[in-house]
Chains A and B, each alone.
Chain A
Amino acid sequence: MKKLFLITAVSILLFGACGENKSGADEETAKKEKMAKIFGLTVFELDNGIGPIKEKLNLGPIDSKMVETGKKLFDVKCAQCHKLDERYTGPAQRDLIKRRSPEYIMNMILNPVEMVAKHPEAKKMFAQYPTQMTFQNVTQDDARMMLEYFRSLVK
């Protein structure tokens, strides 16, 4: 029974995600709340991941200095698993900022193990890329720099 409910819920999510969003904002919120409940998350967590980033960021225009630092960090800490335009150990990253919210990106960098264990999107990725992403010993500031780098990749 419980299983059936879960399957139905996931189907709603999938179809909902694929279909045109014709319903009002309220309906959208209600759907999200339902989803979040199924996975034991808050609506914020469903959109923005689980981890130290617990509220929306105020990003501002792209800062080129931060981009530079972020790129250096990415090359040392991430590039062994992620390329920009092709599948590697993990998914290609050029369009990351289009696929995920900035907060989600930072939470995934800072808290990958819990993300993969609990978040439906991260779980899905783990099924496609069967290597557990690890925390690469970076600070929250480091993750913010890398976010800036990802922002710079898409014009």
Chain B
Amino acid sequence: MKKKNFLFVLVPVLLLGAILYNCSNSKSTGNFSDAASKVYVAPGTHDEFYAFMSGGFSGQVSVYGLPSGRLFKVISVFSQNPETGYGYSEETKPMLNTSFGFVPWDDAHHPVLSKTNGEQDGKWLFINGNNTPRVARVDLKSFETAEIIEIPNSGGNHGSPFVTENTEYVVASTRFSVPVPQKDVPISSYKENFKGTISYIKVDKNSGDMNLAFQIVVPGFNYDLSHSGKGPSHDWSFFTSYNSEQANTLLEVNASQNDKDFLAAVNWKLAEKYVAEGKAKKMNAEYCDNNYDENTHKATTKKLNDVLVLNPKDCPGMIYYIPIPKSPHGVDVDPSGEYIVGGGKLAAVIPVHSFSKMLKAIENKDFIGEIDGIPILKYESVVAGEVQNPGLGPLHTEFDGNGYAYTSAFLSSEIVKWKLGTWEVVDRIPTYYSIGHLMIPGGDSRKPWGKYVVALNKITKDRYLPTGPEITQSAQLIDISGDKMKLLLDFPTVGEPHYAQAIPAELLEKNSKKFYELEKNKNPYAVHGEKEARVTRNGNEVHVYLSTTRSHFKPDNIEGIKVGDKVYFHITNLEQDWDIPHGFTIKGLTNAEMLVMPGQTKSVLWTPLKEGIYPFYCTDFCSALHQEMQGYVRVSSAGSNTKLLFN
């Protein structure tokens, strides 16, 4: 009787507690039982999409599978990686050369896949380096960085590297305006001396090789993001800007004064024509173009000294400003190429501009003014509609290809789904927390694959097990296949997942390289077979031509190295099959590990400072006899007579 009474009280208390707990809990609740099956990729089976997530301040790109959220690879782009030797090996050090010298890091924000006819073609992935302005190109056969080009006359390459419809160009617009060319001036002379630039980098359609074709000098605002047109708007690119106030201090207040800032619409086809007609001026500018050659397995730096610059005053019809409410951030073009969506950080609506109305307004000279030769179009003449109540702080928009747009709202932490044409909001879903970009596979292209949207959140807080003050970053996978968006999965990311792009796995996986052909290895220090393995000395410079195969090095006993020698180990992996890398390190190496793929050569510099015996070994578990894969180097005193010997 007593027991029964107790239960009688306990059950309602527990129920009430559960209800209260749910109400007070900020986390999403609900039934995830069918979500699990939607993200479950059975062992041994593959994901449907490759997702390339920017590493933000990690400087790298990480490759994930969707819908599982499994991490496959971190591609070294702007940051040295001691795990592979990227930026440490003699072959890859030139990749990080800039006009400021060797820069071992950058802030990588926007991965953008190459496109043909506005659709993803699976050839390359571009990503911008914000801090020391650069654009990198990643090869999607090797999943390695193939090229990094520096952007001169730029203070920070944020509005980049969005591509035109056939990847004719990659664009780059400067976030921080600076004197162009650089000079020593008072910061307070901002309005007089500081300029922005918009750059067009030509991409060779076969090799992918990038060349800075021309730059357009524009008023000194902060140019933020961009997207190029498609279909009818093929010839145009659109760039948002803020700080039309041209403030140079306390921008959070001083750059938020004007009711509207500007979207720059650039007719790049016309710009191309002006360049061909000789309207561009050649200007001195120092910058580097670094290319990695897959046959020599070696990067080289090309130093460049000038750039072609167009001034809008000399180029009528090339560029227009379109007003956009309050400090816009993202600019996104719908799959048809007609609608240009601006996202204003401080705006109460999302303005959607019409490309056809823009052309008409230009034709009618519907201008409300002009800045530095750039006509300003009348907002009302260009706007197609405004999305009302889009959430607070609307930033970025992607499209599902079925007539809907999805906009991230940073302040209200949600994704808002709205209909193109009617501009009505049809659904919204909270994100955890403070979403920045969002990504639908192909969601910026003419052919979105729909199905999912990934929320790329800025704040993680309580979503995962805590790991001290520094916690993981957070992405969320949301199902958009039905009328209502449905949260499926949280997954942690490497660095800040600033922006991402995803592509169906079938477009890439068939092209994925398995190894490098040894016959094609033209590295000057490569060995083609063990017979060529050797050690040579030239003064105090020693070259060890080392081969690896399972499970030995050749040579594996080296004597006659002296304290203070500059010893280069050139490691060639003679294997010719998939998934047999070998790693190399030697005791006391004040450099990185070298992870050498089959058929590849990597070189690392070692300067021994003390006499003794130094073991070296393979760091990547390669076979049953991996633990036997080792060698010794004998280091003698600087003046010793120990003969150079190797086996």
Residues of B within 8 A of A80 (CB): 529-530, 547, 549, 554, 574
A132–B552 alpha-carbon span in the complex (Å): 14
Give per-residue flags for B511-545: 1 if the beta carbon is below 8 A from chain A beta carbons, else 0: 00001011100000000111100000000000000
Counting CB contacts under 8 A, is B550 at the interface?
A: yes
B517 touches A131 (CB 8 A): no
A131–B547 alpha-carbon span in the complex (Å): 17
Closest Cβ neighbor of A112 among chain B residues: B577
Counting CB contacts under 8 A, is B331 at the interface?
A: no
A134 touches B580 (CB 8 A): yes
Cross-interface CB contact of B624 among A81, A130, A135, A137, cutoff 8 Å: A130
Residues of B within 8 A of A130 (CB): 623-625
A135–B518 alpha-carbon span in the complex (Å): 13
A79 touches B576 (CB 8 A): no
A134 touches B575 (CB 8 A): yes
A79–B518 alpha-carbon span in the complex (Å): 14
B529 touches A76 (CB 8 A): yes
Shortest Cβ distance from A32 into chain B, in angstroms?
32
Counting CB contacts under 8 A, is A8 at the interface?
A: no
Give the number of chain A interface residues (Cβ < 8 Å): 14
If the complex has contacts A130-B624, A130-B625, A134-B577, are A79 and B530 also in contact, measured as CB distance less than 8 A?
yes
Closest Cβ neighbor of A80 among chain B residues: B549
A75–B547 alpha-carbon span in the complex (Å): 13
Shortest Cβ distance from B143 into chain A, in angstroms?
20
A89 touches B550 (CB 8 A): yes
Counting CB contacts under 8 A, is A136 at the interface?
A: yes
Closest Cβ neighbor of A134 among chain B residues: B577
If the complex has contacts A80-B554, A131-B624, are A136 and B531 also in contact, measured as CB distance less than 8 A?
no
If the complex has contacts A75-B531, A76-B528, A130-B624, are A136 and B551 also in contact, measured as CB distance less than 8 A?
no
If the complex has contacts A131-B623, A134-B580, A137-B576, are A79 and B550 also in contact, measured as CB distance less than 8 A?
no
Counting CB contacts under 8 A, is A77 at the interface?
A: yes
Residues of B within 8 A of A75 (CB): 529, 531
A121–B428 alpha-carbon span in the complex (Å): 65
Interface residues of A in 128-143 (CB under 8 A from B): 130-132, 134-137
A132 touches B623 (CB 8 A): yes
Residues of A within 8 A of B547 (CB): 80
Residues of A within 8 A of B515 (CB): 137
A75–B234 alpha-carbon span in the complex (Å): 55
A89 touches B552 (CB 8 A): yes
A131–B624 alpha-carbon span in the complex (Å): 7
Residues of B within 8 A of A135 (CB): 576-577
A53–B638 alpha-carbon span in the complex (Å): 58
Residue with the highest number of chain B CB atoms closer than 10 Å, among A77, A79, A130, A137: A137
Residues of B within 8 A of A81 (CB): 549-550
Give per-residue flags for A64-87: 1 if the beta carbon is below 8 A from chain B beta carbons, else 0: 000000000001110111000000
A76 touches B625 (CB 8 A): no
Shortest Cβ distance from A54 into chain B, in angstroms?
23
Give per-residue flags for B422-453: 1 if the beta carbon is below 8 A from chain A beta carbons, else 0: 00000000000000000000000000000000
Closest Cβ neighbor of A137 among chain B residues: B576
A131 touches B577 (CB 8 A): no
Shortest Cβ distance from B368 into chain A, in angstroms?
66
Cross-interface CB contact of A79 among B517, B531, B575, B577, cutoff 8 Å: B531
Closest Cβ neighbor of A78 among chain B residues: B529
A136 touches B623 (CB 8 A): no
Give per-residue flags for A112-155: 1 if the beta carbon is below 8 A from chain B beta carbons, else 0: 00000000000000000011101111000000000000000000
Residues of B within 8 A of A77 (CB): 518, 529, 576
A77–B554 alpha-carbon span in the complex (Å): 15
Residues of B within 8 A of A76 (CB): 518-519, 528-529
Shortest Cβ distance from A86 into chain B, in angstroms?
14
A136–B625 alpha-carbon span in the complex (Å): 20
Interface residues of B in 481-529 (CB under 8 A from A): 515, 517-519, 528-529
A26–B531 alpha-carbon span in the complex (Å): 48
If the complex has contacts A89-B552, A131-B551, are A136 and B576 also in contact, measured as CB distance less than 8 A?
yes
Residues of A within 8 A of B577 (CB): 134-137
Shortest Cβ distance from A107 into chain B, in angstroms?
17
A120–B575 alpha-carbon span in the complex (Å): 25
B549 touches A89 (CB 8 A): yes
Closest Cβ neighbor of A88 among chain B residues: B552
Residues of A within 8 A of B549 (CB): 80-81, 89
A81–B530 alpha-carbon span in the complex (Å): 9
B531 touches A131 (CB 8 A): no
Closest Cβ neighbor of B626 among chain A residues: A131
Residues of A within 8 A of B580 (CB): 134
Closest Cβ neighbor of B577 among chain A residues: A134
Residues of A within 8 A of B517 (CB): 137
A12–B577 alpha-carbon span in the complex (Å): 37
A134–B552 alpha-carbon span in the complex (Å): 15
B529 touches A79 (CB 8 A): yes
A21–B506 alpha-carbon span in the complex (Å): 56
B554 touches A134 (CB 8 A): no
Shortest Cβ distance from B424 into chain A, in angstroms?
58
Residues of A within 8 A of B530 (CB): 79-80
A131–B548 alpha-carbon span in the complex (Å): 14
Give per-residue flags for B115-136: 1 if the beta carbon is below 8 A from chain A beta carbons, else 0: 0000000000000000000000
Closest Cβ neighbor of B550 among chain A residues: A131
Residues of A within 8 A of B575 (CB): 134
A84–B550 alpha-carbon span in the complex (Å): 18
A27–B554 alpha-carbon span in the complex (Å): 49
Residues of A within 8 A of B624 (CB): 130-131
Q: Which 4 A-B pairs have the closest CB atoms?
A: A134-B577, A80-B549, A137-B576, A76-B529
Q: 8 pairs across A/B with beta carbons < 8 Å?
A: A76-B528, A81-B550, A131-B551, A131-B625, A134-B575, A135-B576, A135-B577, A137-B576
**Known contacts A89-B551, A131-B624; can you find 14 more A-B pairs with CB under 8 A?**
A75-B529, A75-B531, A76-B528, A76-B529, A77-B576, A79-B530, A80-B529, A80-B549, A89-B552, A130-B623, A131-B623, A134-B577, A137-B517, A137-B577
Q: Which B residues fall within an 8 A CB radius of A? A: 515, 517-519, 528-531, 547, 549-552, 554, 574-577, 580, 623-625
